[in-house]
């Protein structure tokens, strides 16, 4: 309400704005729901593959990034899953994101993956595309992508999530020893920057021989 007044000089109450935006939100939700009425799940709750043309050598590269976070609602804490579709270009040496498209939902995974299918088909159209999926280690993400794109995607484990896991393990292994923590983390991240997750896994397997810590096993599984 304050921003509208500053920009336009118009007085609109915050209650009116709330009613208008909630009404528009309901209309948008109804349109989204209509788009997935034809999409069925099988007996195992699997979604049918997306009707897109995958070619890992295609000129058009589509990035799909998804994650979930828990938010409080009036009823209870619920997971809000969010999808981002985008393309990339460069401005000088700086990468820029183009054609960004967002979709979020508080509904369950079965609803969400039907929406991802609909959004992905609309975004890609009939073009041949390479699909690059970015996510953390949550199994629902990669299970969903295997259902939607059985031809295969280029899979990228999100840098910030894997970094967080490595720092967590280092702090458990070397409590109060900042030098060892920094050395351990620096070495693993350097290998990951070079695209060698296999080397990190080898280091963790060797580490298991001398240090019995469940976080080591969890990190190996996370990377794999």
Contact assessment for residue 52 and residue 131, using Cβ atoms and an 8 Å cutoff: yes
- Per-residue confidence (pLDDT) for residue 106, from 0 to 100: 93
Task: Return mean pLDDT, the chain.
Answer: 93
- How big is the chain by its Cα radius of gyration, in Å? 22
| pLDDT above 80: residue 212 | no
- Per-residue confidence (pLDDT) for residue 224, from 0 to 100: 84
- For residues 45-59, b (16+ Cβ closer than 10 Å) or e, as one string? eebeebebebeeeee
Percentages helix, strand, coil for the chain (3-state, rounded to 5) are 50, 25, 25
pTM of the model: 0.82
Tokens 């963790």 -> residue: 204
Confidence band of 91 (pLDDT split at 50, 70, 90): confident
Confidence band of 180 (pLDDT split at 50, 70, 90): very high
Please give the share of the chain, as a percent, with pLDDT higher than 70: 100
Tokens 């969400």 -> residue: 112
SS3 at position 117: helix
| Other C-beta atoms lying within 10 Å of the C-beta of residue 132 | 16
CA–CA separation, 101 and 3 (whole Å) = 25
CA angle 79, 71, 170 (to 5 degrees): 80
């Amino acid at each position: 309400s304050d921003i509208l007044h500053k920009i336009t000089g118009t007085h609109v109450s915050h209650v009116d704005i709330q009613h208008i935006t909630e009404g528009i939100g309901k209309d948008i939700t109804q349109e989204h729901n209509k788009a997935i009425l034809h999409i069925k799940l099988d007996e195992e709750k699997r979604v049918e593959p997306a009707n897109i043309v995958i070619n890992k050598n295609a000129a058009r590269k589509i990035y799909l990034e998804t994650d979930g976070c828990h938010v409080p609602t009036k009823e209870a804490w619920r997971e809000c899953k969010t999808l981002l579709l985008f393309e990339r270009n460069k401005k000088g040496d700086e990468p820029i994101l183009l054609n960004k498209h967002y979709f979020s939902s508080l509904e369950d995974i079965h609803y969400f993956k039907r929406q991802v299918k609909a959004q992905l088909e609309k975004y890609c159209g009939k073009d041949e595309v390479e699909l690059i999926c970015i996510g953390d280690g949550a199994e629902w993400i990669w299970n969903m992508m295997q259902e939607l794109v059985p031809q295969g995607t280029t899979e990228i484990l999100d840098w910030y999530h894997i970094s967080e896991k490595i720092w967590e393990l280092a702090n458990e292994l070397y409590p109060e020893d900042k030098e060892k923590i920094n050395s351990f983390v620096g070495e693993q991240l350097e290998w990951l920057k070079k695209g060698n997750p296999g080397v990190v896994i080898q280091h963790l397997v060797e580490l298991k021989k001398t240090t019995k810590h469940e976080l080591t096993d969890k990190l190996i599984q996370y990377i794999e």
